[in-house]
Chains A and B, each alone.
Chain A
């Protein structure tokens, strides 16, 4: 099955710094999604990308769908304490099979 690798596995940053994380896959996806998960909660959708090369923003978050369709990155600008959590990328094929394949996650800690 598809394997999605996220890097880095964890990050410790100062409040106000920018953050960058990425996700690579061994297979092509038609949709890339970024989710954030807080402790004891389910993942919450942050950004969805539907086209290779697409760059999409949601407030302080920016994500891009890689041209090869095998990668994506997420940037967070001017981090704040509530950005703490685990960030997951997810790929979706949607060629009859539209389930999500999740990455390994990036744990973000923001130091006030």
Chain B
């Protein structure tokens, strides 16, 4: 049973560029959340998608946007990259109820 899969694993982008990260949720899960984890810190909530709509959003600027597809997979887009966007981006899936999420291994984004 595949867990949460994310691609790519690593990515290097130049400041000002745009990036798209992808996530396939665990089989049977319908809710996808994205988190940003800066080095040495805990993950910070970006947003959550359910039924192809953004259901919740954390304290992140509009440069961060996302999408959920009918098969529940999701994309995270970041425009106008800043050096401070360098982080591990984690995708997590769930059935939407209370309790824990299943996390992917993340995409390490480096902005230079």
Write the residues of chain A forming the contact surface with B, with a CB cutoff of 8 angstroms: 1, 4, 30-31, 33, 35, 40-45, 48, 50, 88, 90, 92, 94, 97-105
B90 touching A43, Cβ below 8 Å = yes
The yes or no answer to B8 lying at the interface (CB within 8 A) is no
Chain B 69-112: CB-based contact to A (< 8 A → 1; otherwise 0): 00000000000000000000010100011111111111000000
B58 touching A99, Cβ below 8 Å = yes
Q: Which residues from B are CB-within-8-Å of A104?
A: 41-42
Given A41-B105, A42-B106, A97-B56: A31 in contact with B44 (beta carbons within 8 A): no
B42 touching A99, Cβ below 8 Å = no
B99 touching A50, Cβ below 8 Å = yes
Pick from B43, B59, B105: contact of A100, CB below 8 A. B43
